[in-house]
Amino acid sequence: MFTRILPVLLLCGSIALAADNSSPNSPAPSGPASEASIKQLLELAQAHKLIDSVMNQMDNLMQQSIAQATKGQKIPPKVQKDIDQRHAEMIAMMKELLDWSKLEPMYVRVYQKTFSQQEVDGMIAFYKTPAGQAVIGKMPAVMQNTIEEMQQLMGPVMQKMQQMQQDVVAEMKTEGKNKDG
């Protein structure tokens, strides 16, 4: 799950870096960004599509988890129906949670707390350029490549964590037997 959310955070970071055009000679940042300019920025950056992408990734992750849990076994129809119903319920909950009409006001608040009007204007100007449009167009590929790289990095760490967990469980069982005996 973490590796699915990480690219979203990376995108937010790239937006912030694109906005950081200040230098020692730059004028002081302007006041808080207006709601209209933030909405324009979110539209230019296609933030709603990013949310849709996260939703699709989460659905794929759930389907992969189900496939891994069943490991190709024949599932009785009653159990399959239950699995399908729970999957549908989880997707419905996620769609409600990630509904853009609910998220947009949150994004506006966060951006207003974080960025000045000058910074938002800089991001808008950047996203209107060919380079900005390239960032927007190629960010899904960056996210997918980042996910793949992170999964490779996290694999050995996850194995070590699982081994540590198993070691702790084994120690607890041994300790419990020593107290009983």
Residue 24 in domain: no
Residue 58 in domain: yes
Residue 25 in domain: no
- The residue type of 14 is S
Residue by residue, pLDDT tens for the chain (181 residues) are: 444 444 444 444 444 444 444 444 444 457 889 999 999 999 999 998 888 888 888 888 888 888 887 787 888 899 889 888 998 999 899 889 889 999 999 999 999 999 999 999 999 999 999 999 999 999 888 888 898 898 888 888 888 888 898 888 888 888 878 877 6
Residue 18 in domain: no
Q: What is the pLDDT of residue 29?
A: 55
Residue 147, CA distances (Å) to 17, 106, 173 in order = 20, 25, 37
Residue 160 in domain: yes
**Structural domain harbouring 90:** 2-11+30-180
With CA atoms as reference, report the closest residue to 53 among 86, 10, 111: 10
Residue 17 in domain: no
CB burial class (10 A; 0-12, 13-18, 19+) of residue 175?
exposed
Chain center to CA of 115: 21
CA separation for the pair 177, 64 (Å, rounded): 38
Output the six-digit token pair for 175. 């300790």
Residue 142, CA distances (Å) to 21, 148, 156 in order = 22, 10, 22
Query: Which residues, at least 6 apart from 119, have a Cβ–Cβ distance to it below 8 Å?
Result: 19, 20, 21, 29, 33
Domain count for the chain: 1
The predicted model scores a pTM of 0.61
Residue 23 in domain: no
Q: What is the pLDDT of residue 40?
A: 96
Residue 38 in domain: yes
